[in-house]
Structure 1
């Protein structure tokens, strides 16, 4: 019930437009991520054995390894590491939201339903990295190419996947060609019906991909992804809605965010035979769906905004139900201060 209670609070505090309530929202999210109990996240043992107890091999992802292993070498609990990651994720994310002039409350409502559970409560390294890439996104749309690169490199020190964000340099600020992205979606869907595991395995081997990536394409994994699962279909529908609402592409923020969201959608289907890569890319860029949806409120009249906020709350409820109650990607929440 904790997740549902927090989501409801985020919704009510956004409707009330109270700065104190918004501050409490950020504090609640920080406390949840900082003091999460070990049995809540399925990734806890990976962090404990692979980072906290590691033999100080600080490359790659040196900052993440220092935060985990440093706590161990200082005689502190792994909980200290999660406090640090939670603080960095929330603070950096808040800074990015403000710099992007997005409504904080609405952003948190949409973000909480899925991404908060997947990132801040589970993939804590990625949570910080994606927050830094949001700052890189903000710098890029303001033509600050060097600053963009610096944020990406900093994110890379937390999580290897951040290097994917270099793709932003191939995305211009101009209004998107909706037909191109619609065709890209169709091609991605078509590729999802073709078994390209062999080709991907060869490519990953040539690129010296991490061993855990290769296990998903070498024929030993029985993991199968349904291309028409509910969340995937919802994401496609939202993508198509933005293809139709071409009038909202009035600035670099909306233009680039749509293209990055397109990468999330297309990559999910294009690499569906390589689940790790498919989910990693699609989830990494899925935050730009949140950017698009939260920024869309600026096109709605003041008197009707409560309706839109309610719709986004219901959308987040659907995501939360599928992610937590149905798929069970995370256990019931509980706190630990040990």
Structure 2
């Protein structure tokens, strides 16, 4: 052992007489921290700081949240907001005198940490996945839809339970996610997806949704669907439909660039799956992500008459893009070129999500 340490020191791979991994950061007591962990941890701290200490009004939802911070748990409206939200409001009220900064910091710590942990567990391209998270979801989830941000982080962590068929752990995560946002109930059917192959229905699902939306059939179906939903879901759906009738919601452009690009991406992946299956191996995780991409496109088109619902469900499911899009680079020999193209595509997403923020409050 001592000889190995000496040889390692001669190669420059030692610190204080101890051999270390060449990718590790040298620290006392031989504490090894690899490059991936260090980067993820550092960026997580930065993102938590940005989200937790952002000015009120930078995002559209923070003023509304501030107005709820003094409401005691006994007066909570559980149809409007979820139990976990009111529980954190109560904790913040009791421990921190309803301080708005600690409230947003608590949500930032939970939301960012869950996403970073999921990236560390699921992604074979962690740095590109980190960039995908920053570009596509950080401003949306950790600075605007903070309840959905926590729920979607739990959803990402539940993917391992789906693939490994661990129903008990999965149900627990569904329950926890639903306590933060009721829309997380859409996780439940995903456990029953067949991860051995991709059937032809997933090829046609987005087209079916697009057809129903374009010809106005999805609105008719939604109006007849509310009575069959649980009360907390039918309540929100009725509100959304009422606002739509009053002209409070603008119609969605179902051919917008982002979702159209996802549609192209889906059929590109389908072409690889069906015509290059012998050269490219798709594991259970890949099949899960592809099926969820098909489902999120269908839900976006189908629920487009109710914009809030269309975006909320599709964006919740779309959190898998953080893992899926970077993994496309692994399907090609020219990985560096593909990674560069993916980086540029994701950077366009950063411009899109930045529009959610009102930068005038910091100017």
Superposition TM-score tier, normalisation by shorter sequence: 0.7 to 0.9
Change (3 A) 1:308 1:19: farther
Q: Tell me which residue corresponds to 2:351.
A: 321
Instruction: Name whichever of 162-171 and 94-103 sits farther off.
Output: 94-103
Distance 2:37 2:220 in 1: 53
Cα deviation code 1:116-159 (max 9, x no counterpart)? 11111111111111111111111111121211111111111111
Give the drift of 1:18: 6.6
Distance 2:297 2:254 in 1: 11
Q: Tell me which residue corresponds to 1:287.
A: 319
SS of the residue aligned with 1:52?
Answer: coil
Give the drift of 1:210: 5.6
Q: Is the 8 A contact 2:304 2:310 kept in 1?
A: yes
SS of the residue aligned with 2:214?
Answer: coil
5+ residue gaps, structure 2, are: 1-34
**Residues paired across the two proteins, number:** 312
1:38 partnered with 2:59? no
Q: Tell me which residue corresponds to 1:66.
A: 87
5+ residue gaps, structure 1, are: 1-16
Give the drift of 1:297: 3.3
Give the drift of 1:95: 2.0
Distance 1:53 1:213 in 2: 27
Aligned partner of 1:194 among 198, 215, 219: 215
Aligned partner of 2:141 among 101, 110, 119: 119
In our comparison, the structure showing a higher alpha carbon Rg is 2
Cα deviation code 1:305-336 (max 9, x no counterpart)? 33333212211121122333xxx32222978x
Q: Tell me which residue corresponds to 1:215.
A: 239
1:136 partnered with 2:158? yes
Change (3 A) 1:61 1:102: farther
Instruction: Name whichever of 64-73 and 281-290 sits farther off.
Output: 64-73
Give the drift of 1:76: 3.9
Distance 1:25 1:201 in 2: 44
- Counting only pairs closer than 5 Å after superposition, residues 11-22 of structure 1 correspond to structure 2 as 20-22=38-40
Change (3 A) 1:142 1:18: closer
When normalised by structure 2's length, the TM-score is: 0.79
Give the drift of 1:89: 1.6
When normalised by structure 1's length, the TM-score is: 0.85
Q: Is the 8 A contact 1:37 1:333 kept in 2?
A: no
Distance 2:168 2:55 in 1: 39
Give the drift of 1:205: 4.5
Give the drift of 1:198: 4.2
